[in-house]
Every structure is written in structure tokens, then in C-alpha cells.
Amino acid sequence: MGELTIVNIQTASFIGSISLVLIGLVAVLFIDNLIKKVLGLMFLTDGVNLFLVALGYRVNVPGGAVIPIFTEGFFKAHNASMATAIGDFSARAGFCLPYALVLTNIVIGAATMSVVLGLIIRLYQRHGTLSSSEILTERMEND
Amino acid sequence: MTVPVSDLPIYALIFASVAIAILSLLPRDLYKAVIVGGGIEGLSLTVLFMRLLAPDVALTQAILASALIPALIFITVYKTSRWES
């Protein structure tokens, strides 16, 4: 098999997250339908989450990166020497502070989404349409 | 640099999640848009988080972002109009 020169997983995740954020911004700003604006908001949140998770990934470590959970098998692999086991683990485990941030962000995103959807249902009951430009012109005429 | 073969599905998943995000904004039927953009995109990101060393984030993403939020948007589309004018 020949040489395949592409970027590593972390850089590819950064590129993917930036494109998700751009798609979400374009959808929020330029699409007329309110449900599709909500989908764009979801892509924006997903892009930021993917960026934060990719920050904690380890590339180019000997033996490969591992999930940041210290298990018994890791201890036994180093002949029950705690010092070398912890040193090897801390060199290979992913950085897990961004994961806690992302966990909170997902839950807050779900709560925000439910409030936004409730407001959309009220707007539809008052104006009878989901198109944001029609709702805006109708409100301009009333004022 | 050379890339091991076991990493190739991850590149496919990153590309697929971006492509699915673009595809979900196209159809006029809002149910189709929610299934593609909410459910399938959330599932691909779940597998991606699992592979990027964050299984706790993957669990939360699997429950909330690919099941609960699409269900909420489904209820909203059911209570309003299905077709984009």
C-alpha cells in the first residue's frame, strides 16, 4: 500500500467542526423557515461540541491513546508497578476537562431547544405561518 | 505522515456528518429534514465521540441529541405545518 498523506484525526475533526459551525450560521441567518433555523442552531451546538472533544484527543503517542479510565488491566500490564503504570496512563489518556464542559453543554442545549420550540408553537398560533419574513412583515404592519 | 487503516472510518464519519448537515436543509418535507438532520447526524456524532476517547459524552449525545430533541421537533412540526412554503 502506498503512502497516504492526509491530516491526522484531530485536525480532521477541527476542520469538520468548523464546517458544521459555518453551515449552522448560514442556516440560522439565511433560511426562511423557523424549523430549519432550529436545525441550524443544533448544528452550531454540535460543531462547538465536536471542537471541544477534539481538543482533548491525543495524537502520536506510543501505544495509542486510551480512554481516561484507570482500570485493573492497566496496572497488571506493568507488572503491578504503580509508578510506571500511572506514568504511562497519564502520557496516553485523553485530556478529560473538555468532556465535562461538553456534557454540560449538551444538556443546556436540550433545555434551550425546548424553550425555542415552545416559542415557535406560540408564534404559529398567533400568525398562522412558519416563515420568518412573513411574521416580520406582519408585525411591522401592526406597529 | 502515514495513516493506519483502522482510522479510515473516522475520516468517513467526519465527512458524513458534514454532508448530512448540508443534505438535511434541502427537503421541503420538514419530517424528512428532522429525521436526517436530527437523528442521523446525532448518531454519526455519537460514534465519532466514542472514537475520540469520550464515551460519557457519547452516552449523553445518544440519549439527548439523537432521541429527545428530534422528538421535541417532531411534536412542534405536528402542531404547526408539515410543508415548507
Q: Note the pTM of the prediction, 2 decimals.
A: 0.89
Q: What is the DSSP string of A37-103?
A: HHHHHHHHHHHHHHHHHHHT---S-TT--B-S---HHHHHHTTT-HHHHHHHHHHHBPP-HHHHHHH
**DSSP 8-class letter at B64:** I
With bands split at pLDDT 50, 70 and 90, how would you rate the model's confidence at A27? very high
Name the residue among B57, B41, B4 with its Cα closest to residue A56.
B57
Chain B positions in Cβ-Cβ contact with residue A132 (cut-off 8 Å): none
A60 phi-psi bin (left φ>0, alpha ψ -120 to 50, beta other): left
Q: Please give the Cα distance from A138 to A101 (Å, whole number).
A: 41
Cell digits of residue A143: 406597529
Strand pairing partners for A33? A131
Q: Inform me whether the pLDDT recorded for B6 exceeds 60.
A: yes
Range of the domain at A50: 9-57+94-135
Cell digits of residue B52: 475520540
Q: Inform me whether the pLDDT recorded for A5 exceeds 70.
A: no
Closest by Cβ to A56, choosing from B25, B33, B53: B53
In a domain, A102, yes or no: yes
Name the residue among A40, A61, A42 with its Cα closest to residue B65.
A42
Mean pLDDT of chain B: 89
Percent of chain A with pLDDT over 90: 54
Average pLDDT over residues B43-60: 91
pLDDT at A66: 83
Indicate the residue type of A124. Answer: Y
In a domain, A89, yes or no: no
The 10s digit of each residue's pLDDT in A48-93 is 999 999 998 888 787 778 888 888 877 787 777 788 888 888 888 8
Closest by Cβ to A3, choosing from B2, B14, B81: B2
pLDDT at A90: 83
Which is more confident, B60 or A71?
B60
Which is more confident, A22 or B5?
A22
pLDDT at A4: 55
In chain A, the number of structural domains is: 1
**A114 to chain B: closest CA residue:** B72
Chain B positions in Cβ-Cβ contact with residue A15 (cut-off 8 Å): 14
In a domain, A63, yes or no: no
Per DSSP, the three-state class of B3 is: coil
In a domain, A143, yes or no: no
Chain B positions in Cβ-Cβ contact with residue A42 (cut-off 8 Å): 37-38, 65, 69
In a domain, A85, yes or no: no
Percent of chain A with pLDDT over 70: 95
Contact call for residues A119 and A126 (beta carbons, < 8 A): no
Kindly determine whether residue B3 and residue A67, on different chains, have CB atoms separated by under 8 Å.
Answer: no
With bands split at pLDDT 50, 70 and 90, how would you rate the model's confidence at A1? very low
Chain A positions in Cβ-Cβ contact with residue B17 (cut-off 8 Å): 16, 20, 46
In a domain, A13, yes or no: yes
Identify the residue among B11, B14, B43, B61 best suited for mutation to test binding to A, counting A beta carbons within 10 A and taking the highest. B14
Q: Please give the Cα distance from A39 to A47 (Å, whole number).
A: 12
Per DSSP, the three-state class of B70 is: helix
Closest by Cβ to B80, choosing from A24, A43, A130: A130
Q: What is the CATH number of the domain that holds A24?
A: 1.10.287.3510
How many CB pairs (< 8 A) connect A and B?
Answer: 142
pLDDT at A7: 79
